[in-house]
Amino acid sequence: MLSGDTIALGPRASGVQGNTAKRREAVGSSSVDDFCVRPHFPMMHYALSESKCLSHHSSRYAPRMLTANQRLKQARINKGLDTQREAAAWLGVNEATYNQHENDTRGKGKIPRDAAAHYAQRLGVSLDWLITGKGEGPQPSIEPTAEDIEQMIREIIEAELKLDTKIADLPRIFGPALHEQLGRFRVDRAPPGKPSSKTSPDKGAQSPSATKPV
């Protein structure tokens, strides 16, 4: 008897037409699952999840489907400029003008070429990409975004709830060892002939006036 997760093979897959019993008889007495059906299940599940991901993030995989205004917004966000006002100030353009170009208030889906050239140069993308979607688009930024920082804070709080140690106690726990390492670092990096400050692991970092030359 076929298992519950077996799917029917079509004529192209099995070479046999008809009902399930006839297809099973054609391939022999061994389980149809062992033949070629069961491996399809995880593969199909993976393909489905990947398709959903591609659909959800379609702007990354099909940039030419975006308008120039949408690409301008994408480049702005990638540059770490959270608001249009911040972008206008950084780009040195009138805020209303920039808002019009990014929001496409005139409904043309385009940006004047001279303005687009300025935006492309400042935002680190090619003019061709900004106008047509072809060419070099925005590169991934290594600077954390506001969303990254918020996620980091959430993870720290969740980790703290799972631990007996509070985050606020970490400086007291690791402070002496860090101060000792800092003192060694200062000694190693001090220029020849110049006294370096010495840090006591018990008292923490001292001001330069309170330290003695080595």
Tens digit of each residue's pLDDT, the chain (214 residues):
444 444 444 444 444 444 544 444 444 444 444 434 344 444 444 444 444 444 444 444 344 568 899 999 999 998 889 999 999 999 999 999 999 999 988 777 889 999 999 999 999 899 999 998 887 777 655 566 677 788 888 887 777 777 766 666 767 767 777 777 777 777 776 666 655 554 444 444 444 444 455 4
Q: What CATH number is attached to the domain comprising 117?
A: 1.10.260.40
The identity of residue 78, as a single letter, is N
Looking at the domain assignment, is residue 207 inside a domain? no
Looking at the domain assignment, is residue 95 inside a domain? yes
122 and 162 part of one domain: no
Q: Own/partner pairs for 131-135, CB < 8 Å, 24+ apart?
A: 131/68, 132/64, 133/63, 133/64, 133/65, 133/66, 133/71, 134/64
Q: Per the structure, how many domains does the chain have?
A: 2
Looking at the domain assignment, is residue 46 inside a domain? no
Structural domain for 126, as ranges: 68-132
> Model's pTM, two decimal places?
0.39
